[in-house]
Structures are given as structure tokens and as C-alpha cells.
Amino acid sequence: MKKSIIAGATGLVGAKLIKALEAKGDPVIVLARRPIPDLSENTKWMETDFDDLVAGGSLPPCDHVYICLGTTMKKAGSKDAFWKVDFEYCIAVAKKAREAGATTLSLVSSVGANAESNNFYLHTKGTLEKAITALDFPTFNIYRPSFLLGNRTERRPLEALGIHLFKAIGPLFIGGLRKYRGVDVELLAAEMVENATGTHIPEGINYFYFNEFSGGKS
């Protein structure tokens, strides 16, 4: 039975990861500033100030770490604030988890992530992938979804419109464009857990796009 840590547990993907792992009965530690309601007995909340973690905190022993921590440029308010959450916090979690014994890391990145990109968002995601690669996790699963489809707790009218749009035009993305189809977060979370807890995924760096997500074969 593997012990997992989730960073970004209150987000769209993280909340689904909790449910998927709880269904398996595996022990889970969720990192968050505030308590998360309705956790099962096998899931524990660890009060976490990510600034403290960057400065030199530690994490408990674990086998696997899921990083789905992130913000938006609008919510962050600046490139520096966005970088702090989407790079500094994430790489700190990865480093501390590796020190705590984690051998597998699953990262929610983005389609088009590239450290050399002129797009700040894609540059940040690509730089994070590169930095985590340097930590030498035996298994590093990188998920590069396009638009995430799911119900958020906060109201985002434009994003809600985007979800309906992506659902409508998704089938038009064929061939090389398939990786830009919207991805259902519940299916993404289920695939992440299956790949992390099963034995069918090889060691090394593994990239996952739309075609590899459960339900993404059509």
C-alpha cells in the first residue's frame, strides 16, 4: 500500500485525486493552508504554509507525490506571484517529497509546456518539468492536458463559457490536434491514480496527452 501526498488538493484536479485515492483505501496526506472537510479516515490534512516549505520545511515519508498546484495570472495579479505558486511552491514540494523518500511524482502540467517558450505560462510549466527532471525521481509522470473540464467551486463565467465551447468543438480536433481537446478532470484524476499505483507504467519520464487519458480514445 503506497502512501501519497497531494499538493493542490483543493483545486479542480486535486479534489478528484482525493476521491480516487480514498476509493482505493490508500493512505493520503493533503497539503493545504486550511482544513479540508469530509476527508475519509485514510486521508490526513497537513497544515502547510508553502512559503515556509520553500524556506526549508519538510514533508513526512511518502512513496508518491501528486503536484496539481497552480493559479491563474488573473488571480495571482503579476508574473512574479504566478511564478511563486506555479514554480517555486511546486519545485519545493517535489524536493521535499524526494528527500522524504518519494520515488514517483505525477505532475499536472500543460499541453505546449516548453522551457524555451516565449509564452510566460508555457515557459513556467516547461521550466518546472525540467527542474523536477533534475531531481532524478525513478518515475516522473507528466500530464499535459489542454482545457480542464469540470465544476469549480468559484464562479468563472468566461471559463464556464469556454467549457461549453470546448465540449462542442472538441470532436473537430483530430489527428495532431487531438491533444488540444478538453479533458474531464475526473477521468484525468482516475488515470493519474491508475498509472501511479499500477505496474504497467515504466520507470523514467512518461508524458501523457489526451489520447492516453481514460475516455480519450474516441
Please give the pLDDT value at position 181: 61
Please give the pLDDT value at position 151: 61
How far is residue 130's CA from residue 151's CA, in Å, rounded to a whole number?
Answer: 30
Helix, strand, coil share (%) of the chain residues, nearest 5 = 45, 15, 40
Please give the pLDDT value at position 213: 60
Please give the pLDDT value at position 216: 46
Phi, psi of 199 (to 5 degrees): -120, 10
Residues of the chain with pLDDT under 50: 155, 158-164, 166, 168-173, 175, 177, 214, 216-218
Burial 153-187 (b: 16+ CB within 10 A, else e): eeeeeeeeeebeebeeebeebeeeebbbbbbbbbb
CB hemisphere CA count around 82 (13 angstroms) = 13
How far is residue 218's CA from residue 67's CA, in Å, rounded to a whole number?
Answer: 27
Please give the pLDDT value at position 212: 60
| CB proximity list for 31: less than 8 A, separation 6 or greater | 5, 6, 7, 9, 46, 48, 50, 59, 93
* 4-148+184-211: CATH topology: Rossmann fold (3.40.50)
